Structure 1
Amino acid sequence: MTVRMDGEMQMGMGHADVSGRRVVITGAGRGLGRVLATAFDAAGARLGLVARSENALEQVAATLHGDPVVCAGDVRADEFNETVAERMLDRFGGVDVWICNAGVSPEVATVAQMKPEVWRDIIDVNLTGTFLGARAAAAVMEQGGRIIVTGSVIGDRPRRGLAAYAASKSGAHALVAALAQELGPRAITVNAVALGWFDTGMGRHWHRDEERENDIVGHTALERWGTPADLPGVYLFLASASSAYVTGTTITVDGGYSLM
C-alpha cells in the first residue's frame, strides 16, 4: 500500500524543527523553565518568558540570542494569562506553542502537618495555573497549535509527604486528556511530560539529601538522576510538526523510575 504525504508532512518528519515558532514558557525564571528557554532559543523559536520575578526573567533573557517577550506575573490569575497571550499577539502575531511549566513544591509534609493554605497554593499554581494558561493559549491559537504541560511521575506514583503535589500533577495529567479531546477538532495537540527526578529546580533539595538520593537512584533503571541535557528533547518534539499525531498523552521522562 502506498501512502501519499504532502510536502509539509515530509518536512515535519524525522526532526523537531521549531525555528520561527512562537513559544510561551511559564516558570521560565529558573530550573527547567530556564533550561527550556535556552534550548528553544537555540533552536530558533520566538519566545515569551513568564515567571513571577521580573528580575529573574531579565537575567534569563540576557543570556538568549533572541529578543523575548518578558511577562512577570501570577499564573493563577486569568487576566495575567490573557495579558501574556495579548503581548504575544502584539509582538509576534500569535502563539504556536504554550508550555505550562510553572509549578511549586514545598518541603515534604504529611497531611496532618500541611496547612490548608499551602495545599491551596500548590493546587492553584500547579493545576489551576495550568488550566488558565491552556485556556488563554487556546483562545488565540490557530490550527496546529501545541499545548505542553509539565507533569510528574509523582502524579501517577505518589510518595509519602507529597500529597498535594501528587494531586496537582495527577489532575494536570487528567486535564491534558480532556483538553486534547476538546481541542482536537482544531488540530491543537495537548500533551504532558511526566518528569522523574532531576538535579534542577524543585528536585535539587532532594538530590542534596543522601538517603533520599540513594533511594531514588536505587529505584531508577538508569541508576542516575536526570540532568538538564536530558530535558529539552521531548519538549522540542512535542512543539514541532513531527508530533502532529500525538495528543492526549503523558510522555514519561524518568530514566525508568516508574518501572521499579
Structure 2
Amino acid sequence: MLREDRWVGHYLPHWTSPERSRARYEIDGSGLRLRIDADQPDWREEDAPLRVSNLQTGVFSGPAGSPRGTHRHRPDGLVVRTETPEHVLWAPTAGHVEVTVSASVDEGCMLAAWLVGTEHLSEEDTGEICMFEIDADAVGEGKSHARCGVKAHSDKRLTTDMAEVVVPLDASKPHTWTAVWGPSGTIIGCEGIVVKHVPHAPDYPLFLLIDLFEIGPRSETAGLYPKTAHIHRVHGWDTSSAVP
C-alpha cells in the first residue's frame, strides 16, 4: 500500500479534477509501477494531449477560483478548480534525495523526478530542482540522455540552469539518481557520479514529485497499454535543521 503519511497519489490536483489527476499504479515485487492506461483522461483539457501518473509528498492550494497553488505551470490565468487541503507531508528546505527507477521505453513517455516549491508560505517560492527527465526515445542500451538542473520558473531569486547529460547506462534498467541541495548549491548525480552542479538552490520547502507522462496523441492501438515505469526505491533526508 502507498504510505498516505508520505505520498499523495495525484498530480497537482488543485489545477484539475480528481479523476484527471489520479495516479494509476500498482505495487509489485520490484517496487511501484506507474501506469498510463488506455482509458486514462488528459490531465487537463487545456494541456492536452497529456496524461500523467504522479506521486508527490504533499499538496497545497488556495480556495477554488484563486490563483494560489503549488507549481503554477501556466501564466495565462490558471485558477484552482479543486480546492485541496494543505498537506505538507515531506518538504525540506535543504536535503538529500535518492531515487532508484527504471525509465519507460514506451512511445511518447517521459519519466521525471522534481523537487518543486510548495508555495504554501509564499507564492514567490516557485523554484524547482529537476533531478531528471528521461524521454523514452532517449534511452539506449549503452547510454541514455536526460535533462537535469534548476528551473527558476517565476522565482526571480534563482537562475534557470538546465543541461542535457549523457549517462553510460540503459535507463530502462534500475539505476539511482541523487539530489543534494542547501546553502552551497545543488548537486545532481547518477549512479554516484556528479552530472550537474548549480551554485544556488531554492531555500524554501520543496515537495518531491515522481511522475510518468505520456505526451502527445494517444496510441491508436489499445494493446500498447499500459505504458509503464518503475520506482524501486526512494530515500530522503531533511537536512534543514543542520543549516545555520
**TM-score, length of structure 2 as denominator length:** 0.29
- Structure in which a larger fraction of residues adopt helix: 1
Whose Rg is larger? 1
Higher RCO (C-alpha 8 Å, min separation 6): 2
- Structure in which a larger fraction of residues adopt strand: 2
